[in-house]
Copies of this chain bind each other. A is one copy, B any other.
């Protein structure tokens, strides 16, 4: 009740970002479920986002997704059990394994990309012409700046 007209301008940026993400994710993963991939969860996206066509190591995926090996191993394990990934020994390194997409995994990955685009388009149609592009480019710029800051912090070598 408190929040319909008044707080529109009082919403925190955090709320706006999170709420928009929440709505988007709901539609994307709802669509994915409707497309026959109901067992794919949001957390799995970091695997699909970073996995290489020839397969990737868990450590590699973990680093790219900025999470621990253990957490990534858990995600890979579940996607493997669900039939989206297969894990094979890395011929180049006896310690390593490669996780790579199965045919079903490829299909899911494609669906995920398509749905992301589709939902973004849906969102764009809620706004006046061109505003979604503007929103996206500003977000992109912000993200780039934030990544630069983080990068400098991590590897500032004089």
Residues of chain A having any CB pair with chain B under 8 Å: 2-3, 7-9, 11-21, 23-25, 28, 45, 49-50, 52, 64, 113, 116-117, 119-120, 123, 126-127, 131-132, 134-136, 138-146, 149
Contacts and interface: CB of A to CB of B under 8 A. Distances in A.
12 contacts: A2-B52, A3-B64, A8-B136, A14-B25, A17-B24, A20-B139, A20-B143, A20-B146, A123-B142, A131-B141, A134-B134, A134-B138
Given A8-B140, A127-B141, A142-B123, A116 B19 contact: no
A25 B13 CA distance: 10
B16 A139 contact: yes
Q: Chain A binding site: helix, strand, loop or mixed by DSSP?
A: helix
A128 to B, nearest CB: 8
How many copies of this kind of chain does the complex include?
2
Nearest to A24: B14
B120 A131 contact: no
B126 A142 contact: yes
Contact of A140 (B11, B24, B146): B11
B146 A19 contact: yes
